[in-house]
Structure formats: C-alpha cells, structure tokens
A and B are shown apart, each in its own frame.
Chain A
Amino acid sequence: MQSALAAPSIHATVVLDRREPGPGIVILGLEAPELVALVKPGHFLMAIPPAGVAAATALGIYEADGSRISVMLIIVGSRTAELARLQPGDQLDVLAPLGNGFFLDDLPKRVAIVAGGVGLASVLLAAKTCVERGARAELLYGARTKAALVDVELFEGVGASVRCATDDGSRGYRGFVTDLLEQGKPPELIIACGPTPMLRATAGKAEHLGVAAQLSLEETFGCGVGACWGCVVPIDRASPRAPSFPAADIHERREHANARVCKEGPVFWAHELRW
C-alpha cells in the first residue's frame, strides 16, 4: 500500500515562470527534467534558500509535467518571502523528491479531496491520478475569503469537480470546508492536506462517515530528511509507519510511537494517528 520511495538527491533547478494567483500566493515553475519522472502525488521538496541564510523550506510539489515542476508559496515569514522574490532565470537548488506520497493504488469510485491554504499544492497531482485511474475526484477547497481561493481551473482541467467554502461566504458554502463532506453523497475515500485544524476536522468527519482518510500533515520541519526528529506525530504503535521502537519506559507507557512527518509521512491514515 505504501508508495515506493524514489531516491532523493539535490536537484539544481532554474525558475521558468512565476505568477501570483492571489494575494501573498506565488507559484514558481521550475525546470527540473530529472525530477519530473520521480515525483509521485504527495511528494514534497526542501528548497535551499538562495542566500544561504535560515533553514530550507518544505514545499509540496504542485505540478509535474514535461521537464517542469511547480511549487506554491504562501508568504508567511522571511523564508517564504525570500523564495517568493525569485524570478525566471534564477537558480533554486532543492532536495527532492521527499516523503511518501498518497496511497492511490486501490482507489474506490468517489474520492473527496479536502484542501486549505498551501495544502492545495500537495493534492493536484493526486486529483489527476484519481481521475486517470477512473475515480470521480471532487476537490473541497476552503479559504477565509474568495481572493484566497486560487487555481480552481487547474483542478477542473484535470477532470476533478470543485466545491468551495469560505469563512465569509464570498464564494461557495459559508463555513468550514469539512462541512461539505456531509453534504451530498458521501465519498468512499478522503484525501486531505491543509492546516492542522482542518485535518483534525477532516479526521473527525471521516470517522463519523465511516470513510478512510489520508491526511498529508503540516508540521515545522528541521531537516526534512528524517535526521532531526523534530517533526513527529504520535501514531498507533501497530502502524507499519510507526518507528520500530520498543515500548517506552515506565514514565512513558502509552500505546503510541512518535513517527517523523517528513520521513514516515507526510501522508498518514487518519485512523493510525493518535494526536
């Protein structure tokens, strides 16, 4: 069930194109011919900061086609701001591909894809794969307001249908995007990537509906390659993704183990999380 691990390496890419589909949102197209063939839906990369200050930034791989991949930035701090200043022709070195992607081998007929914020970038390839494999994929896309909902047409372009939710009702349903899971015919599989509160709500709805859900988690990364153990999430000790540690000592006798989001994840089944 687990996606095969592609050997990651350092790829020297060149910025091909740059666009700003919404306020504070930047899409960078990168020339990365060797990388395209390695990328699976849900993979991420670590972008090495061009000026060499501050840590590398984890970014979901948004598109992968021909010799081009793309990434989405939402400017939240100095590291994303630096990357957002890149222009066509600039170089960007990345560690990629990283992480395990979504588990898309045995797809049911109806797949709901829940996304919020920069999480959108991690699910476009998944939507494309779902459609290619004969599933009906529906993107449930949430944001605070209409202006922050971007690139809906890219999802429609790969054959997914789209329903939106905004906090202020400026587009689509007014309320939480996860409410949409309970409106209409329930999906048979849920895929989600976005802010942790959205993922927690998705897990709750999935349990209520009795539907399996794959969540691509967001967590602060140190290394992004499994070395520092900074980005862990508690998961069921019985999960194949749990580190093979023995039960912890008497001070810590719990039935979970801390798995690295960057290495064992970032995609986990909702039912294996103990968060």
Chain B
Amino acid sequence: MQKAAVATSPLAVRIGRLELAYPTLGASGCYGSGEEYAPFIDLSLIGGVVLKSVTRYPRLGNPTPRLVHTPGGMLNAIGLQNPGIEHYLEHDVAKFATRPCAVIGSVAGFSVDDYAYVGERLAARSEIDALEVNISCPNVADEGETFACDPALTARVTAAVRAVTDKTIIVKLSPNVTDIAAIAREAEAAGADALAVINTVRGMSIDVERCRPMLGNVTGGLSGPAIRPIAVLAVYEVARAVKIPIVGQGGIETARDALEFFLAGASAVCIGTANFTDPRAPLHVADGLRAYLEKHGHGSLREIVGKANVGFADAQQYEGDSG
C-alpha cells in the first residue's frame, strides 16, 4: 500500500501495525475473498477485506436453508464452509496478492491448538496483512462461539495466536455474552492488537405453515440494521474497557451509521450485510464520512473516535438541541 498517501488522508486509520487508507472494510463472511465484489466496486477505495474464516480441516458447512431475510436484516447459518487451511494456502492465498487494499485473514477453530496452527500458517504468508481471530461464530454445532463466551478461553486463544505471529491480530467478539467488556479486557491482556465488535446476534425464525425452523441449522446469526444499536452499545462498552483499537460492525449501511460506531469508540468499521443491498455501500460510507469531517471542521477521522463515549453524568451536562 501507498503508506505516504495513507498518512495524509483524513480517512486513514491505523489498527495495530496495519495502516488502512480507508476506515471501511468488507466484513468477514460477507465479502468472500474480495474478488466477488471487484466487478462492482474499485477495491482500492476500501480499507481492506476481511476474508471468510478458514479452519484447520475442510468444512462442508450447514444444510440449507442457510439464509432467511428478517425485518431489518437477515439470519444466516453458513457453518464456516471452507476448504481447510492446507488447500487454502495452496490454491487461494496467492490470489490475494493482487488486492489493491489490505487483506485480513480470518481464523476459526475448535480448539486453542487449531487457532494457533491455522493462525501461524496463514500469518506466515506475505499476502496476508493481518489476522482476524474469529472466536465468535454462532453457527457451528461444536464450540464455535464458546471461546468468545468464556473470558479464560478468549485469553488462551488470543495468547496462542499472539505467540505465533507478529502481524496485527484482531479478536472478534460475540454480542451473545453477559459482559462483553470483561471478555475484551482478557483479549487485550493476552496480546490482541485490536478487537472486532461484534459478530452476529443469535436468532431464530420459524416457518409457521410447516411448523419447522426456517434455517437448516435451526438457529442462526442475525445481521443488518436490526442489530445496529446492540453493536453500538457493545463498541461503547468495549471502548471504555480497553485501550486497543476497535473495528466496529453490525448493521452499518450509511455514513451516519458508521459515525455512531466511530463516536462510540471504533477506529474502523466493517460493512457486511449492506453489501447485499448495494455493493457500493462502502464507497457511500467513505464519501459521507469525508463530508461529515469537512462540515464539522475535523482534520481527520481520528479526531472523532470515542467523542460520544461519555458517561451518564457527562451526558446530562451535554447541551443538545433544545425542544
């Protein structure tokens, strides 16, 4: 990437050792490997793509239906379908070298050892700029989300991946927990460079005519604008608990939506489901952010990160619009 240009752009951000020309990333699982969207947008105008998660062994994924559209979003239960790390390294990773944006690999697993093994092998590749550690997939029967729901396991997985790479690692947290701040602190203490907040919210939909769950996997993960307030709160709480950067995500469709995340404390955002409405969404978000910064006289996005992250007492003192 063109580091000089990055440093001077008002939208440039830094996540750990990762410099991003834009604060907008394609969200893992929604963006394929980036090439699927290359016909529709110029990938050099997004910060990066977070690749679909890869596991140690190949996975067939869940039975269909894997998707159901719901009010304000969609439920999915893909089940981490992927070719496994060996095949992935041999056949897929080389293609990522041509992406004109950052390429963030995503690692999923079923044991601490899985994460370390896959993380080490993936991070060793020059095509991969950083790693997302997906400890929060809600759609695998065994232990997908267990890691993100247990502070001690979160710490062990994070430390295990930290031990095998110096590249930036972003630990992806689940909203399906009682105290996300406690989990975030464990990940930070174990060596995470950044936190991705949030993964999908567990949900279910039922076909009332057939009297059966809509999804083949019975339960799924809810995404889209329906979960945005949940995600904004999670970013707010995590930002108050840790010092490392946050990659906010959950129902972002517009610049206004993204601004909520930045103001709550995120340093970058992922855009996922909104691409299914319009692949130009990340470009519209970046344009709108630039306009907002100009309108409000900010020199860079960094100036507004966490600006609305005020406590209850402070919020009472703030004078908003009257009437």
| A interface residue numbers (CB < 8 A to B) | 7-10, 48-49, 52-56, 77, 79, 93, 95, 219-233, 243-249, 252, 254, 257-258, 263
Q: Taking the nearest CB of chain A, how far is it from the CB of B217, in angstroms? A: 12
Across-interface contacts of A258 in B (CB, < 8 A): 60-61, 81
Query: Which residue of chain A has its CB nearest to the CB of B69?
Result: A55
- Asked whether A93 lies within 8 Å of B81 as measured between CB atoms, the reply is no
Name 29 interchain pairs, CB-CB below 8 A, sorted by A.
Answer: A7-B39, A52-B278, A54-B69, A55-B69, A55-B276, A56-B276, A56-B278, A219-B65, A220-B67, A220-B68, A223-B36, A225-B40, A226-B32, A227-B32, A227-B275, A228-B78, A228-B276, A229-B66, A230-B67, A230-B78, A232-B66, A232-B81, A246-B84, A246-B86, A247-B58, A248-B59, A249-B57, A249-B59, A252-B60
**A54 CB contacts on chain B under 8 angstroms:** 69, 277
**Whole-angstrom CA separation of A101 from B105 in the bound complex:** 33
Query: Does residue B37 face the partner (Cβ distance < 8 Å to A)?
Result: yes
Does chain A have a CB within 8 A of B30?
yes
Contacts of B65 in A (CB 8 A): 219-220
Q: Tell yes or no: B174 within 8 A of A by CB.
A: no
Binding site for A on B (CB under 8 A): 29-32, 36-37, 39-40, 52, 57-61, 64-69, 74, 76, 78, 81-84, 86-87, 91, 253, 273, 275-280
Contact B74–A222 (Cβ < 8 Å)? yes
- Docked Cα-Cα span, A14 to B56, in Å, equals 48
The 6 closest A-B pairs by CB, nearest first: A227-B32, A249-B57, A230-B67, A227-B36, A245-B83, A252-B60
Given contacts A227-B32, A230-B78, A252-B60, 18 further A-B pairs with CB under 8 A are A10-B40, A48-B277, A56-B277, A219-B65, A222-B67, A222-B276, A223-B276, A225-B40, A225-B279, A227-B37, A228-B76, A229-B81, A230-B76, A244-B87, A245-B83, A246-B58, A246-B83, A246-B86
How far does the alpha carbon of A121 sit from the alpha carbon of B30 in the complex, in Å? Answer: 28
Partner of A79, one of B57, B69, B91, B279: B69
Provide the main secondary structure of the chain B interface: loop
Closest to A221 in B: B67
A48:B278 contact, CB within 8 angstroms = yes
CB nearest neighbor in A for B223? A222
| Residues in A whose Cβ lies below 8 Å from that of B275 | 223, 227
Residues A225 and B74 in contact, CB atoms below 8 Å apart: no
Complex: A252 Cα to B80 Cα, angstroms: 13
Q: Which residues of chain B are near A77, meaning CB under 8 Å?
A: 69
**Do residues A223 and B81 form an inter-chain contact, with CB atoms below 8 A?**
no
**Bound-state Cα–Cα, A79 to B69, Å:** 10
A55 and B5 CA atoms in complex are apart in Å by 34
Give the shortest distance, in Å, between A132 (CB) and chain B (any CB): 29
Contacts of A53 in B (CB 8 A): 277
Given A10-B40, A220-B69, A229-B279 contact (CB < 8 Å)? no
* Beta-carbon contact of B37 and A9 below 8 Å: no
Collect the chain B residues with CB atoms within 8 Å of residue A227's CB.
30-32, 36-37, 275
Cβ–Cβ contact A249 & B278, under 8 A: no
What is the minimal beta-carbon distance from B81 to any residue of chain A, in angstroms? 5
Closest A residue to B29 by beta carbon equals A228
> Across the interface, which residues of A come within 8 angstroms of B37, CB to CB?
225, 227
Also in contact, A93 and B57, with CB within 8 A (given A52-B253, A232-B81)? no
Distance from B49 Cβ to chain A, minimum over Cβ atoms (Å): 10
Question: Are A49's CB and B64's CB within 8 A?
Answer: no
Alpha-carbon gap, A226 to B69, bound state (A): 17
B61's nearest neighbour on chain A, judged by CB, is A258
In angstroms, Cα B102 to Cα A134, docked, is 52
- Give, as a whole number of angstroms, the nearest-CB distance from A221 to chain B: 7
Q: Is the CB of A246 within 8 A of B64?
A: no
Partner of B83 from the list A55, A95, A244, A254 (CB cut-off 8 Å) is A244
How far, in angstroms, from A244 to B64 measured CA to CA in the complex?
20
A216 smallest CB distance to B (angstroms): 16
CA distance A248 to B273 in the complex (A): 28
- When distances are taken between beta carbons in the complex, the residues of chain B under 8 Å from A8 are 39-40
Interface pair A233/B64, CB less than 8 Å apart: yes
Residues of B within 8 A of A226 (CB): 32, 36
- In angstroms, how far is the closest chain A Cβ from the Cβ of B222? 13
- A95 and B273 contacting across the interface, CB-CB below 8 Å: no
Q: Are A231 and B277 in contact (CB under 8 A)?
A: no
Q: Which residues of B contact A233 (CB under 8 A)?
A: 64
Chain B residue contacts of A93, Cβ below 8 A: 278
Once A54-B277, A56-B276, A222-B74 are accepted as A-B contacts, the answer to whether A229 and B61 lie under 8 Å apart by CB is yes
List of B residues within 8 angstroms of A248 by Cβ: 57-60
Q: A225: nearest residue on chain B (CB-CB)?
A: B36
Q: How far does the alpha carbon of A219 sit from the alpha carbon of B216 in the complex, in Å?
A: 13
Tell me the bound Cα distance from A217 to B310 in angstroms. Answer: 51
Instruction: Report chain A residues within 8 Å CB of B59.
Output: 248-249, 252
- Residues on B with beta carbons closer than 8 Å to the beta carbon of A232: 61, 64, 66, 81
